[in-house]
Amino acid sequence: MEARRGIGWAALGPALVVPFFGALFYFVWFSDTPAGQPAYVATKLFTLVYPLFFLARTGLGGLTRREDRASRWPSWPLVVVTGLGSGVLIAIAGGLLMLTPLGDAVRGGAAAVSGKVEALGFKEHFILFAVFISLIHSALEEYYWRWFLYGHLRRKVGRWAGHGIAAAGFAAHHLIVLLQYFPPWLAIFLTVCVALGGLIWTLVYEWQGTVLGCWLSHLGVDVFLMIIGFQMMAAAG
């Protein structure tokens, strides 16, 4: 595997917690003020720019090319098929859950979802927002959580601890968002699902040596979530 000079906790710590506190800022503390939308944008810009400060230590293996290792990586067609296939399977599992009483509980948050999206100024442009989340935001999260954060965590604490910490960090800011829509028990359950998704994607990244498959899987899941979100907003009126 490509040798990287690791970064310390002084650099990894902010990377783990800024998305969490950013979510608190734009979804809780200032969600109903003009500061909410700029705070959202600033948090996303942080996840884009922060890893670039460490590019000399990180290298581009896993991002623009495969990481170096002795054994062969899976072929590019297999990367694409497994990436898309895993995203479809996760979306199907989510669709089946929506057919259970759990789905009724999720739909019970329709008014809260609609109100929060409107407060952030995204409701009138939801289709564009959904395209951004599905295509661009999913790629940004794979770049940040899988390539950058997990890529360094595994060198700091080992692969399995790295998988766990990266999944927990990825899920933490989602918990803040979900608590605004749903009762705590449901928000926690859905956050566990997010953490499981994060774990799946770090495992995929470790296996494939590229974020491409993770991104394709993540894209498929986000398309499903945006469809659910659109249906909930339509139901809320």
**Rounded (10°) CA dihedral 55, 56, 62, 65:** 110
Residue 3 is predicted with a pLDDT of: 45
Residue 205 is predicted with a pLDDT of: 93
**Closest-CA residue to 49 (of 129, 143, 135):** 143
Secondary structure of residue 110 in the 3-state scheme: helix
Question: In terms of pTM, does the model score above 0.85?
Answer: yes
Residue 5 is predicted with a pLDDT of: 59
Sorted by where each begins, the domain ranges of the chain are 76-236
Please name the amino acid found at residue 224.
Answer: F
CA–CA separation, 203 vs 79, rounded Å? 13
In three-state form (DSSP H/G/I as H, E/B as E, the rest C), the secondary structure along 27-56 is: HHHCCCCCCHHHHHHHHHHHHHHHHHHHHH
Write out the chain's pLDDT in tens, 237 residues.
444 556 788 889 999 999 999 888 887 777 677 776 788 888 899 999 999 988 877 777 778 777 776 568 888 999 999 999 999 999 999 999 999 999 999 988 888 887 777 766 777 778 888 899 999 999 999 999 999 999 899 888 989 999 999 999 999 999 998 998 899 999 999 999 999 999 999 999 999 989 999 999 999 999 999 999 888 887 776
Alpha helix ranges (H) inside the chain? 9-24, 36-49, 55-58, 76-97, 101-107, 110-119, 126-131, 138-141, 151-157, 159-179, 184-208, 212-236
The conformational region for residue 6 under phi > 0 = left, psi -120 to 50 = alpha, else beta, is beta
Residue 1 is predicted with a pLDDT of: 43
| Residues in CB range of 164: below 8 A, 6 or more apart | 199
Residue 162 is predicted with a pLDDT of: 94
The conformational region for residue 209 under phi > 0 = left, psi -120 to 50 = alpha, else beta, is left
Residue 27 is predicted with a pLDDT of: 78
Residue 2 is predicted with a pLDDT of: 45
